[in-house]
Amino acid sequence: MQVKPNFPFVLHGGDYNPEQWPIETWDEDVRLMQRAGWNIATLPVFGWGNLQLGENEWNFTWLDQVIEKLHSGGIRLCLATGTAATPPWIDQAYPDILRTDSKGVKRRHGGRHTCCPHSPNFARLSTGLATKMAERYGSHPALLLWHISNEYGETCYCNLCAEAFRSWLKVRYGTLAELNFRWNMAFWGQTYTDWSQIEPPVENAQRNFQGLLIDYDRFQSESLHNQCLAEMEVLRRITPQIPITTNFMGTFKPLDYHKWAPDLDIISWDSYPARNATPSQIALRHSLMRGLKDGQPWMLMEQTPSQQNWQSYNSLKRPGVMRLWSYQAMAHGADAVMYFQWRRSPGAQEMLHGAVVEHAGREDARVFKEVAALGAELARIEKVTLGGRVKTDVAFLFDWENWWAVEYSSGPSVDLKYIKVMETLYSALFDLGIVADVVSPNSDLSGYRLIVAPALKMVKPGVAESIKAAVQGGASFITTFFSGITDATDRAFTNGYPGPLSDLLGIWVEESDALAQDDRNGLHFSDQSESQCSLLCDRIQLQGAEAIAHYTKDFYAGEPAITVFPYGEGAAFYLGTLPDRAGLKSVFRSAIRRSGVTMPHGISVPKDVEITERVSELGSLLYILNHNSNEVEILLPARNYRSVIDDAVVNHTLTLPAYGVAILTTEV
């Protein structure tokens, strides 16, 4: 049974690791948390070694004390099960817990997330700790939600995993003959004659069969998912009323979050943009995380208040940027703005990681003041912002298995990277003032007016059908090169590319030319405009579609490069190549026009200004975010808005300072 999270406020808080500091600091922590407008603390994420000192030896005293201090200070709890790092004595006593890496080397003790998902001792001990935590704190009045483990994600190649993989394959394929067929093991005469011959794909073993590689990723994602479910079962049994999350990592390749999401009550994720990340790169990840649970509000579980310590250059977030990025998460559906971490570690790896409280412990520091100001602001506006859902008519299709399939492919180009293609298309639309949902191809597509499927190499059963139904009903569809190549087992479609999408697109893709990094072809559009294109150039045969751009160079000059095919009430576009920004925007413009997609409230925004709309039963809120380091002006349609943050009436022109944010309502 799932629990519907119903948080009373925008969660503002984050990771708290008090065990790294003497007890005298804890009262000061609570005092400062109140000053910072924190209402929630996440702990004890890495508490295992300080809680379980031996097989039957426990010490919860420190945690009891901290929790009471937080509670009496009015700080709620995001309680971690604490299982993200095993203590030294456990790894020493139970070596089956330690993972084997992709080189086939067994780990020694150290670090975190080092456990094998099939280790029986890990299962026993981690659920043991989760049980203790749930029994001890499950009815604590401060408990708001559970946080299982932390950032799941490491792959294991040990013998326990190998055995479990073979059993998993038996269930999946039934017979070895079927597996041999699906993976095309006749290639290089590699046909298996016994299940025991199948090895995990470590670096010096079988890595030439995409079917095997993709299945191993599926299997490991599912194995870690099961590990999470084991702890979840404990929590559901003891505290059925408390919502559960585990923190995700956005475009994190190893885990198929679409498979994990249905079990969680709320999605949370850790956003650590690189210093040169573009607003649309951040927006894409928020949209992906929002799409995991059908647009339900989610949590920004971690962001650094100032800087990271693990990038090459850990630049400071400029004044205002932490606030801007917090509101950007909210603009994309977050009901929580949380940080890693409360107080800087006094030593070890994260000593220099940004925190709300610096080593000096002062509340007159820039970062502390920015956090406190945001906390106060959120407390003022949360009543109207909570619970809204982002409104958009546009969906990008994103599929982890397809990601693996695209990148395990040998050819056509080393530069063909799934996320890169996704980002390029998403940002072209972002530039036009439209943010999209990012959803699984298997989700309900019927409500969308525009559906974009970048590099959808793997077309799984039912997907072509649901896209066709949406287009029949009037939606526009855009897909690209390297789509419709394989089925769900990564076997090629042998009836011509793009496989089951061919009749929707009205084309046959005969060949695909790879362009080296600096190579360009030209595009001549039917409106006489010219653009450049790169990456791949498909040679397209029209089978009913009309070309809207042709190549200008090489032996295929004059041939179709971008096509459109009217289908039912809608239209399907095919990009046989990657146009430059201007070219891409012109294709999106025609798809938008055809499908009737509009900007929120019809407002057009200058470059790097983002606009989204969240709708709740209280009405509609427009989030307008200036990602520029200079002031901008935005023209509003002739009606009055009220600015939720400063309660001012805004009409005709909204002026936003550098990194400024406005939340507008029409309820004046």
Kindly list the residues in this chain that would bind ligand GLA in the complex (CB under 6 A). 150-151, 270, 272, 302, 308, 340, 350, 353
Query: In the numeric block, which tokens belong to residue 53?
Result: 């000192």
Q: Which position has the token pair 């077309």?
A: 459
- CA distances to 28, 250, 309 from 354, rounded to whole Å, are 19, 20, 7
299 interacts with Zn ion by CB under 5 A: no
Does the bond joining 88 to the residue before it have cis omega, within 30 degrees of 0? no
Query: What is the closest distance, in whole angstroms, from the C-beta atom of residue 111 to ligand GLA in the complex?
Result: 11
CB of 215 to ligand GLA, least distance (A): 28
Q: Please give the Cα distance from 552 to 558 (Å, whole number).
A: 6
Annotate 103-124 with b (16+ C-beta within 10 A) or e (fewer): eeeebeeeebebbbbbbebbbe
Residue 244 or residue 416: which is nearer to ligand GLA going by CB?
Answer: 244
Comparison of 96 and 503: residue with beta carbon closer to Zn ion = 96
Dihedral class, residue 544 (left if φ above 0, else alpha if ψ from -120 to 50, else beta): left
Task: For residue 282, state whether it binds Zn ion (rule: CB under 5 A).
Answer: no
Region of 311 please: left (phi>0), alpha (psi -120 to 50) or beta: beta
CA–CA dist 341, 362 (Å, integer): 15
Peptide bond into 500 cis (omega under 30): no
Beta carbon nearer to Zn ion, 106 or 539: 106
3-class secondary structure, 175: coil
- Any contact of residue 116 with Zn ion (CB under 5 A)? yes
Please choose which of ligand GLA, Zn ion, none residue 294 contacts, taking the beta carbon within 5 to 8 angstroms, the exact cut-off set by kind.
none
Encoding tokens for residue 302? 């971690």
DSSP string for 536-605: EEEEEEESS-EEEEEE-SSTTTTSEEEEEEEETTEEEEEESEEE-HHHHHHHHHHHHHHHT---GGG---
- Residue 115 makes contact with Zn ion by CB under 5 A: no
Binding at 627: pick from Zn ion, ligand GLA, none (beta carbon under 5-8 Å per type): none
Q: Which is nearer to ligand GLA, 288 or 445 (CB)?
A: 288
For residue 257, give the amino acid letter.
Y
Q: Note whether 531 and 502 are within 8 A (CB).
A: no
Within 147-186, which residues bind Zn ion (CB under 5 A)?
156, 158, 160-161
Q: C-beta of 648: minimal distance to ligand GLA in Å?
A: 37
Residue 151 touches which member of ligand GLA, Zn ion, none, C-beta under 5-8 Å by kind:
ligand GLA
- Which residue has the CB atom at the shortest distance from ligand GLA? 270
- Binds 270: which of ligand GLA, Zn ion, none (CB < 5-8 Å by kind): ligand GLA
Partner whose footprint covers residue 116, from ligand GLA, Zn ion, none (CB < 5 to 8 Å by kind)? Zn ion
> Which residues is 642 bridged to in the sheet?
649, 665
- Looking at the Cβ atoms of 336 and 386, the one nearer to ligand GLA is 336
d(CA 99, CA 412): 34
Output 1 or 348, the one with its CB closest to ligand GLA. Answer: 348
- Report, as residue numbers or ranges, the catalytic residues: 151, 302
Select from ligand GLA, Zn ion, none the partner in contact with residue 158, using the beta carbon and a kind-dependent cut-off of 5 to 8 Å: Zn ion
Residues 250, 270: Cα–Cα separation, whole Å: 7
Report, in Å, the least distance between residue 268 CB and ligand GLA.
Answer: 11
Q: In a 3-state reduction of DSSP, which class is residue 63?
A: helix
Judged by beta carbon distances under 5 to 8 A according to partner kind, the member of ligand GLA, Zn ion, none in contact with residue 146 is: none
Which 3 state secondary structure label does DSSP give 350?
coil
In this structure, what token pair is assigned to residue 143?
């408990």
Shorter beta-carbon distance to Zn ion: residue 161 or 371: 161
Dihedral sign (CA 239, 240, 242, 246): positive
8 A C-beta contact, residue 421 and residue 579: no
Give, to the nearest 10 degrees, the angle between helix 210-238 and helix 120-137. Answer: 30
Burial bucket for residue 348 (CB in 10 Å: 0-12, 13-18, 19+): exposed
**Helix (H), strand (E) at residue 530:** strand 530-542
Which one of ligand GLA, Zn ion, none is in contact with 308 (Cβ closer than 5 to 8 A by kind)? ligand GLA
Nearer to ligand GLA, 302 or 370 (CB): 302
CA atoms within 13 A on the CB side of 116: 29
- Cα(593)–Cα(573) distance, rounded to whole angstroms? 13
Distance CA(232)–CA(222), nearest Å, equals: 15
Nearest CB to ligand GLA, comparing residues 45 and 459: 45
Q: Is 592 exposed, middle or buried (0-12, 13-18, 19+ CB in 10 A)?
A: buried
Rounded Cα distance between 63 and 339, Å, is 20
C-beta closer to Zn ion: residue 223 or 326: 223
Instruction: Describe the crossing of helices 321-331 and 366-385 by its angle, rounded to 10 degrees.
Output: 20
Q: Least distance (Å) from Zn ion to the CB of residue 407?
A: 23
Least gap, CB of 459 to ligand GLA (angstroms): 34
Q: Which is nearer to Zn ion, 121 or 131 (CB)?
A: 121
- 248 DSSP β-pair partners: 269
CB of 302 to ligand GLA, least distance (A): 5
Q: Which does 611 bind (CB under 5 to 8 A by kind): Zn ion, ligand GLA, none?
A: none
353 binds, among ligand GLA, Zn ion, none (CB under 5 to 8 A by kind): ligand GLA
Rounded Cα distance between 273 and 303, Å, is: 9
Q: Choosing among Zn ion, ligand GLA, none, which partner's interface includes residue 150 (Cβ < 5 to 8 Å by kind)?
A: ligand GLA
Residue 164 or 372: the one with the smaller Cβ distance to Zn ion is 164
Task: Determine if the peptide bond prior to 296 is cis (ω within 30°).
Answer: no
Out of Zn ion, ligand GLA, none, which partner does residue 50 contact, by CB within 5 to 8 A per kind?
none
Task: Report the interface residues with Zn ion, using CB under 5 A.
Answer: 116, 118, 156, 158, 160-161
